[in-house]
Structure 1
Amino acid sequence: MYSKMRLLACIDCHGTMALPIDGGLSMVCDSCKREYFKTDGVWDFRADPNTGSQKSLAIYAELEFQRWLEIFEHTESKNWKIYETKLYRFFTQSGHRLLGRSLAKLTKVNDLVVEVGAGNGALHDFVALKNYIGIDTNWNMLCQLATNYPDKTLICTSGGVLPIADGIVDTFVTLHTLEHIYHLAEAFEEITRILKPEGTHYFVIPCEGGLPFSIGRALVTGPSLKRKYSLDIDLVMSREHINDAPRVLKFLKMYFRELKYTHWPLRFLPFLNTNVMIWGHCKSRPELLPLIRRAEIEGAKKPLDGPD
């Protein structure tokens, strides 16, 4: 048996699918017949690396960065230095606390909430979300989330296409995620596609490029990575946080309306060099949808280049 709402979309042909509601562990796209499976509480929507539409960057394939990804997934994701003490967590989880309060106050009980960069579910420690879909590229972290919150719909995917049907999402969440996405404009076009016309995007980004982050890396995370793994923090974070805060805000202003954001902790001094993170929200711009669809039809998207 399947839900009446066709919430998901095939990553190959974009045909819509309904989630099984009877504990089913597979579903099939009506259009192209691709079958998707659920294992350990997580739906596998990862693209075939040989047919992916977005180009991966060579800098992400460098051996030292690949070594870091292995270390993070199997070791540091559970014991990352920035969560080690109460003082560190006061700063690093500030966005979780503030966003959790906002979502609890401003979203309705049955609103569909989609989070990209769901990780191991840290947001759920700060807000109860009934109708939730969590998406991430990291399978192991999603499995942790599934263990702690087995009632949530969780999807592991890769590439630039979100496996969500058009125009159905009330609330979209990116919590310390946008700084990681190289193809930022393409990601925002996908968010625009799945949001309802009055849908809201809530976000938290670090004050990347500011003095507090430089100090933190010099005194805390940098020495830790060097001591434990002989890794260079600058090599790692220049790739992990490919976007600094000004670039993210620039794209948010282009792709969304009613953008409102606040610096933390010193909101009265709204500068990168006096704060550690920025949080806020913005509304969808549905008038962009015809242009996005036309670009897709004409093949005009150029992930690595601007307009001619």
Structure 2
Amino acid sequence: NYEVASQLWFDQYLKGEFEFPKTPQLEVNLKTDSGTPQAWLGVDRAATALGVEFYYTQHGQVDGEKHDMDNTKHRFWHYAAAKKHDGNWIADLPVASVDKPLWVFANVIYPLEKPVGYAGYYYRIGESKEFTLSSLMSMHSAEDLKAAGVKAAFKPSLTIESFKGEWEKEWFSYRPEEWGMQTNKLYSEIWSAPEGASLALDVKSAEANKLVITIDEFGVEVDLTGGSDWQTIVLLPENFENAIGEKLESWDGVRNLSLTAEKTLRTRVGKENKQKKFGAAWKGDAPVFRELRWVQK
């Protein structure tokens, strides 16, 4: 429902057949009794809204620093559940550090009277029955956080993902018709790997398949036996390799993790792009996951 917005823009401004609601009005209060920032959102046509989402990151660009494209691409955006309050929406925004900036925005999801077709990412054709309208970004420096008395609330966690509740809000995919997803949670200091840790995941697949797990430009194929029992996967950095067979040396500095049926990885060698395909077409129902985690020795 993000991709359809460009089509709706043309429908409004070129054809006069659509009218967007007003931009959601976001305010962020840093100075709270608890020390946890709180976001407030005013919503136009609130009675018709299907839902509200708050997202925030501490990977924002610091003023004066050189632009870091890798940081921009791999920012991890926390999801904060919205609660309705006096006709508006609010959400708490617990942070991991007061030494990094805080960037916040919110989405409002609205229904469409009839499905609208669009051309999406990577030339994908789609159709949507709803659309998303985002607020402007609210950006606050580390100095702002300290001056307001914000307190770090998040602690380091060995559990990267529980796969419970609204866990998919912090994962993403450019191919929503497939079950594969990825996340930038590993880029956050909350889920940094302890020294000497292994990466573990429980998975259940109805049929025998190959699960592809990638970390940045490194991947591994895992054979799934299939059936009704949970299968535990435990991996070390050296189990992952790139398109030319180089091993991942450590978990230090990793950013992105994906779970998918098949994926082609590419590695630049001189002026040439080497590539290697991992996995195969998936058979049967989508897999079920349980507790992605770091395991210490």
Shorter chain as denominator, the TM-score bin is: under 0.3
Please identify the structure whose Cα radius of gyration is greater: 2
Structure with more helix by fraction: 1
TM-score, normalised to structure 2, is: 0.27
Structure with more strand by fraction: 2
